[in-house]
Amino acid sequence: MKRDFLNLFDLSSDEHKALFHRARTLKEARKQRRVVNTMAGRTLIMIFEKASTRTRLSFEAAMAQLGGHAIDLSAANSQMARGEPLADTARVAGRYCDVVMMRTFGDERIAEFAKHCEAPVINGLTDGGHPVQILTDLFTIEERFGTVAGKTLAFIGDTASNMGRSFTEGAKLFDYQLKLASPKGYHPADDVVKLAPGHVHLVSDPREAAKDADVIITDVWTSMGQEAESKKRLADLAGYQVDAALMKLAKKDAIFLHCLPAHRGEEVMGDIIDGPQSAVWDEAENRLHVQKALIETVVQASDRLREMGPALKAARG
């Protein structure tokens, strides 16, 4: 028995609040150079089927700073590249470690891996979602404003992306209003929007989304695996750049977020991402602290479930 974290709905609102409280505590401990050893003797396996900078660095640093150890397993350098069934890799990995973080393509791959892995699995990114990044973004917003609830977030650009889906998942859980500004063909599907009724608003004009927003968010216009579409995407999204004129429509104390890497001069201008309203570097750092809290959450919850296992089986007869 275990607790996976494949999307934001895998934790309740109360569990998310507890996770953010723990992340604040861990951030302060890091600032004060206090040693935290909650994961001493524990091992994290990081499986990468997509390139990574912040996910790799933050998860490995997080596990080390919690007193544990991380193993970096690149799919290209493992037996997965030679055709080993994903289920077989999952069965083995789950017996070697205490938690797995997987960064992959289709959601069905991480679902299959989690099904066959006895260790808890964390979604480090899939085509359908980026929940660890959204947790970090929402934590950063809370850090700046004291709360996420009641705030208006404007996501500009390709809102059908994994970031757009995960922000939509979070809207109801964290009680914020989400404006998704995209041209035709770049909005999320109806079934995604229905995840947060009354909280998500689709618009075509980025200025409409930015008006009186507390947070302006964007992402690259061409994600991994979409390189062949790059020319078309640049043309379609040309009017959705976050620049000074767009930021002026937001509230005076509004902040700018970007999960990185950023392409200055495309989805965002340099004077915005490097300017006074940018919270991008706090956002990047917060990956470390939020993911420490997340690792603790899934590992400790899985430990408790295993301890309760015999009693649960006995109760079921």
Catalytic residue, chosen from 16, 219, 241, 277, is: 219
The reply to whether 97 belongs to the active site is no
The reply to whether 103 belongs to the active site is yes
The reply to whether 259 belongs to the active site is yes
Burial of 276 (0-12, 13-18, 19+ CB in 10 A): exposed
Judge whether 68 and 43 are in contact, CB under 8 Å. Answer: yes
The reply to whether 219 belongs to the active site is yes
Catalytic residue, chosen from 54, 103, 187, 233, is: 103
Judge whether 8 and 166 are in contact, CB under 8 Å. Answer: yes
Catalytic residue, chosen from 137, 214, 233, 259, is: 259
Catalytic residue, chosen from 22, 42, 130, 233, is: 130
Catalytic residue, chosen from 3, 97, 133, 137, is: 133
Judge whether 120 and 5 are in contact, CB under 8 Å. Answer: yes
CA distance 283 to 101: 20
Phi then psi for residue 283, to 5 deg, are -60, -45
Q: Which of 186, 170, 192 is nearest to 223 (CA)?
A: 186
CA distance 287 to 115: 26
The reply to whether 69 belongs to the active site is no
Per-residue burial over 128-140, b = 16 or more CB atoms within 10 Å of its CB, e = otherwise: bbbbbbbbbbbbb
The two three-digit tokens of residue 121, written as one number: 């699995």
Judge whether 174 and 16 are in contact, CB under 8 Å. Answer: yes
Catalytic residue, chosen from 16, 258, 287, 289, is: 287
**How would DSSP label each residue in 89-153?**
HHHHHHHH-SEEEEE-SSHHHHHHHHHH-SS-EEEEEBTTB-HHHHHHHHHHHHHHHS-STT-EE
The two three-digit tokens of residue 152, written as one number: 């208006």
The residues assigned a catalytic role are 103, 130, 133, 219, 259, 287
